[in-house]
Amino acid sequence: MRRACAPSRRLALGVVGVIMASVAGCVSEPSGTIAPPASRAERLEAQVNLARGYLESEAPARARAPLDRALAIDSNSADALGLYAVYFLREGEPRLAETYFRRALRSDPAHAPNLNNFAALLLSEGRYREARDPLRRLVGDTGYAGRARAFERLGDVERRLGDAAAARDAFTRALALEPSLQGAALGLAEIALAAGDLPTAARYFADAREQGAPTRETLCFGQRLAARTGDTDLAASQALALRSLYPNAADPCVEPARTQGP
């Protein structure tokens, strides 16, 4: 028996980095025998895996035909509906993608890849209040491999929406699952600074600096912390690093205005 397996890849949605659950598409080809007719579930799985392979390749437009075939087999397939949403994102049609994500989640409200990808779409559009629900459902899935980062994103959403207690809990859970998450450590530093707890803010900031390369977020936080503590050396080092990373920005710590979606 000959077995050919296609490698899996990670599919990203713009800067948000949407993570699709990869499936190694394997095809068994028996020799000298007649294969029994495929079941409905097997035919559906084959079309879904074919579409996923196209979406993870350089030929995403070819995913539409197998997705249509998959939905002809099962119009409520959460896998097929979710991949159709990703297809429309690749086509630059976020509103159609949103429609298909919502259909997919009506079919299976606990489908982790669809919850993750839908939340990523909402976050990319600044729709934090709407993103909170899929993220809350996602972190409730103890078997989800990306649970730590989902907690980290939920913490950021809760903080932006003004719920410091919920944000602190989410960031703490994220670090318990994956201690190297820079964003979660920085989130806890932000909460402590807002509460006037400078020693705790400095401690979490130090953790964040150890867990990854400097980012705009860490450097700008360092400037704010330095202003509160009077640490002129920290202020100077953060300013120098910001000028190095963003030489053409008048003030890289000023975020562009973003209107929250409906």
- Residue 73 CA: distances (Å) to CA of 44, 77, 130, 139, 194: 6, 9, 31, 31, 53
Same domain, 118 and 169: no
200 pLDDT more than 80: yes
32 pLDDT more than 80: no
CATH number of residue 173's parent domain:
1.25.40.10
Domain stop point among 101, 117, 142:
142
pLDDT tens-place string over residues 85-97: 999 999 999 999 9
- Spatial distance between the Cα atoms of 230 and 235, rounded to a whole number of angstroms: 8
- Residue 232 in any domain: the answer is yes
How many domains, in total, are found in the chain?
A: 2
Same domain, 211 and 242: yes
Residue 201's CB is within 10 A of a number of other CB atoms, namely 23
Q: Answer whether 186's CB lies under 8 Å from 207's CB.
A: no
Give the range of the structural domain holding residue 217, as residue numbers without chain letter: 146-256
Same domain, 165 and 238: yes
- Spatial distance between the Cα atoms of 150 and 136, rounded to a whole number of angstroms: 8
Angle at which helix 94-107 crosses helix 112-124, to 10 degrees, equals 150
- Spatial distance between the Cα atoms of 246 and 251, rounded to a whole number of angstroms: 9
Residue with the larger pLDDT of the pair 243 and 38? 243
Same domain, 127 and 7: yes
pLDDT (mean) for 176-185: 98
Same domain, 16 and 120: yes
- Residue 206 in any domain: the answer is yes
Q: What are phi and psi of 26, to 5 degrees?
A: -115, 135
Query: What tokens appear for 45 in the block?
Result: 């799985």
Same domain, 152 and 118: no
Outline where DSSP puts E strands in the chain.
Answer: 2-5, 26-29
Q: What is the pLDDT of residue 35?
A: 61
Query: What tokens appear for 6 in the block?
Result: 């296609």
- Residue 32 in any domain: the answer is no
pLDDT tens-place string over residues 120-176: 999 999 999 999 999 999 999 999 999 999 999 999 999 999 999 999 999 999 999
Same domain, 137 and 205: no
- Residue 87 in any domain: the answer is yes
Q: Which residues contact 255 (CB under 8 A, 6 or more apart)?
A: none
Angle at which helix 216-229 crosses helix 232-245, to 10 degrees, equals 160
DSSP per position, 69-130: HHHHH-TT-HHHHHHHHHHHHHTT-HHHHHHHHHHHHHH-TT-HHHHHHHHHHHHHTT-HHH
Domain stop point among 142, 157, 180:
142
